[in-house]
């Protein structure tokens, strides 16, 4: 069972706590959310693979076996048109787990009145295929085991 590592520092929350219906109901896929501290943090690749998508506010990493993980930095952050985000990698890049992908300016997101919570979702898998390894409410560091598939 491959491990999915935490893409950033913060506190682990259940997806149901995310103030967005699609994520909270698991419509995007199973996973968890991370509530980051009020500072600029690096969002890193949660698995080894290729960056399928890199937006200013989100990225998807696909492993060689097809496992795909979405890291969505904040909610409704697409409307910021890249403000508060600095990309270190681009679509098509090969990354190892722990490779910085995007710098995330949490204070800027909160100042814009948006939620800074970060859903980490396993795409195209059912909830019974994904196990949450980290306890809800636990503090987590980048690279720590978060999910298992």
Mean pLDDT of the chain: 96
Q: Per-residue pLDDT for 1 more than 80?
A: no
Which listed residue (23, 49, 70, 72) is catalytic?
72
Average pLDDT on 71-89 reads 95
pLDDT of residue 143: 95
72 annotated active-site: yes
Each residue of 96-125: pLDDT tens digit?
999 999 999 999 999 999 999 999 999 999
Stated pTM of the model = 0.97
Q: Is residue 65 left, alpha or beta, with left meaning phi > 0 and alpha meaning psi from -120 to 50?
A: alpha
Homologous superfamily in CATH for domain 3-129: Glucose Permease (Domain IIA) (2.70.70.10)
Mean pLDDT (whole number) for 129-138:
93
């Amino acid at each position: 069972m491959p491990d999915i590592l935490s893409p950033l520092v913060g506190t682990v929350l259940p997806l149901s706590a995310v103030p967005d219906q699609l994520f909270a109901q698991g419509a995007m896929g199973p996973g968890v959310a991370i509530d980051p501290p009020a500072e600029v943090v690096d969002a890193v690749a949660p698995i080894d693979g290729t960056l399928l998508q890199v937006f200013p506010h989100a990225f998807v990493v696909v492993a060689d076996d097809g496992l795909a993980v979405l890291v969505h930095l904040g909610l409704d952050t697409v409307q910021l048109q890249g403000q508060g985000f600095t990309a270190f990698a681009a679509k098509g890049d090969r990354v190892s787990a722990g490779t910085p992908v995007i710098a995330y300016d949490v204070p800027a997101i909160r100042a814009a009145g948006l939620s800074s919570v970060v859903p980490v979702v396993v795409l195209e898998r059912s909830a019974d295929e994904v196990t949450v390894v980290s306890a809800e409410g636990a503090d987590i560091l980048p690279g720590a085991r978060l999910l298992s598939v």
